[in-house]
Amino acid sequence: MLTTGPKGTNDILPGQVEKWHFLEKIIKEICREYGYAEIRTPIFEHTELFLRGVGDTTDVVEKEMYTFQDKGKRSLTLRPEMTASAVRAFVEHKLYAQPLPIKVYYEGPMFRYANVQAGRYRQFHQFGVEVFGSDDPVVDAEVISMAMDFYNRLGLRDLELHINSVGCPVCRPKHREELRKFLAGKLDRLCALCRSRYDRNPMRILDCKEEACRLVSEGAPTTLSCLCDDCREHFEKVKNYLDAIGIEYIIDDRLVRGLDYYTKTAFEIMAADIGAQSSIGGGGRYNGLIEQVGGPPTPGIGFALGLERILATMERQGIEIPVENRCDIYLAPLGEEAKLKSFRILDILRRSGLAAEIDNLNRSLKAQMKFANRLKAKYVVILGENELNRGIAAVRNMADGQQEEIALDELINYLKKID
C-alpha cells in the first residue's frame, strides 16, 4: 500500500510531464488569443457550493463527491468540477461590477469518486473556460469553436461535436410535464435511481446510461420539441454562427443537463476511438447558476475538457508531442582540478540561460559519454588533466561526433554561441 498511489490517481513522471507542458503551452496560447484570463481557486470548497452549483440530482453529486469534515466540523468537498468554484469567486469578489463579459480559464485537477476504468479516474485534469455576463448566441458559438480549435491545434482528428438545447425555466416545465406523461406506467422498467428521478428531475432519465432506461426513454419527448420562442431562436442563431465558420455538428436531442440553471445550449465532444469513455469535453449555458449561488442574475456559459482523455486520444491517433531537448551542454571532467574548473563553467553557462549538466558520479569518460548521450546533450565538454595542462577543452558535437579543441579562456564565449 505504501508503494501504491490511491486508486484512480496517476503519477505524471518525467518523460510524460513534457506532454502536459505541451498541453499547458497550447492552453496558454489559445486563451491569450481568445481573450481569457486565468483563474485559480482552492482545490476544496464548502460542500454546499457543489450541492447547489452542480446539482444534487446529478451523478457527480449523488455518487461521486469527495466530501470530508475538517477539524472545525465543516463539510468540505474536493472540487469535482470548476464551474461552481469560478462562479463562487465571481460572486464573492463582485466581478459582476466590472465591465462584462468576464472571461476566465482554468487548468487543474478535479476529484470524483468514480468507478475506475480506462479514461475514468478519481483525480483527473480539466482545461475549461467560463464567460460570465452575455446571453448572446455568438458567445455560445465562440466557446464551442474555441474548444474545437484547441483540439485542432493538438492535431486531433475524427471528433464529433454534439449540440442540443435544453430550454429554459420558461419552456422546461412543459417538457417535464410531457416527459412525465410519457414515462408514467413505465416506471417499473427504470433503474432505482431513475425511478427516484421521475419526481425530482425526470429529464435526467434521458441520459441514464443503463440499457433498460435507454429502452424505456426511446422516443420520449425531447427538449427541442418543447422550446419556447426565445430558446428556439437562440439555438437557430448558434447553429448559424457555427455554420458561418464551418464547424460541423450533430444535433443530439438526448444530450441533457437536467437542472434548472442549465439553459439553452448544451454540447459534448466525442472521440470515436478511445473506447467507452469517449467524451473528451463538454459544456453549455447556465444562465440561472450565478443567481442560484447567490449572485445577481447573470448569464454564463463554459466548457470543460478532460486532459487525460485528450492525451489518450492523441496517443491513439499517433500524434507525436514535440519534446524539447533538456541538455545543451554536458561537462565531462576527469579529476578534481578539472571538476572544480568545470563546476565554475557550469555555473556561468546556467546563468547565461543554457541547460548544462555535469557528472555527479565521478564516472569514467566512457560512462560519462554514455550518460550524456542518454540526456541527449548537444555538446560535451571534456576536461582532463592533459587538457588542463594545455589550457584547452575538447568540445564534442554529439550530433556529428566532431570534436574541436577550444582555448579555456575562449570556451564560455564559444559555448554561448552554439545553438
State the residues that interact with ligand AMP by CB under 6 A.
81, 112, 114, 119-121, 124, 126, 279-282, 304, 306, 308-309
Residue closer to ligand AMP, measured from CB, 307 or 383: 307
- Rank residues 120 and 195 by Cβ distance to ligand AMP and give the closer one: 120
State in angstroms the smallest separation of the CB of 39 from ligand AMP: 16
We find the least distance from the C-beta atom of residue 122 to ligand AMP, in angstroms, to be 7
Q: How far is the CB of 80 from ligand AMP (least distance, A)?
A: 8
171 vs 280 by CB, closer to ligand AMP: 280
3-state secondary structure of 206: helix
| Smallest separation (angstroms) from ligand AMP to the CB of 118 | 10
Q: How far is the CB of 261 from ligand AMP (least distance, A)?
A: 15
**Binding residue positions for L-histidine:** 81-83, 112, 126, 130, 257, 261-262
| Residue number with CB closer to ligand AMP (105 or 121) | 121
CB of 358 to ligand AMP, least distance (A): 41
Q: Which is nearer to ligand AMP, 144 or 356 (CB)?
A: 144
Q: In this chain, which residue has its C-beta nearest to ligand AMP?
A: 306
Q: What is the Cα–Cα distance from 383 to 135, expressed in whole angstroms? A: 67
Sign of CA dihedral 415, 15, 105, 70: negative
Contact (Cβ atoms closer than 8 angstroms) between residue 291 and residue 279: no
Q: Tell me if 127 sits within 8 A of 307, measured CB to CB.
A: yes
Sheet holding 403-407, edge to edge: 356-358, 329-333, 379-383, 392-397, 403-407
Q: Which three cell numbers stand for residue 90?
A: 465571481
Q: Please, what is the end-to-end C-alpha distance for the chain in angstroms?
A: 47
Contact 382, 393 (CB under 8 A): yes
Q: Measured from the CB atom, is 8 or 384 closer to ligand AMP?
A: 8
7-20 burial code (b ≥16 CB/10 A, e <16) = ebeeeeeeeeeebb
Give Cβ neighbours of residue 131 (< 8 Å, ≥ 6 apart): 101, 102, 103, 139, 143, 300, 301, 302
The number of C-alpha atoms within 13 Å of 43 and in the hemisphere containing its C-beta is 11
C-alpha span between 395 and 263 (Å, rounded): 65
List, as residue ranges, the binding site. 81-83, 112, 126, 130, 257, 261-262
CB of 309 vs ligand AMP, minimal distance in Å: 4
Q: Which is nearer to ligand AMP, 126 or 145 (CB)?
A: 126
DSSP secondary structure code for residue 247 in this structure: -
Sign of CA dihedral 114, 116, 122, 128: negative
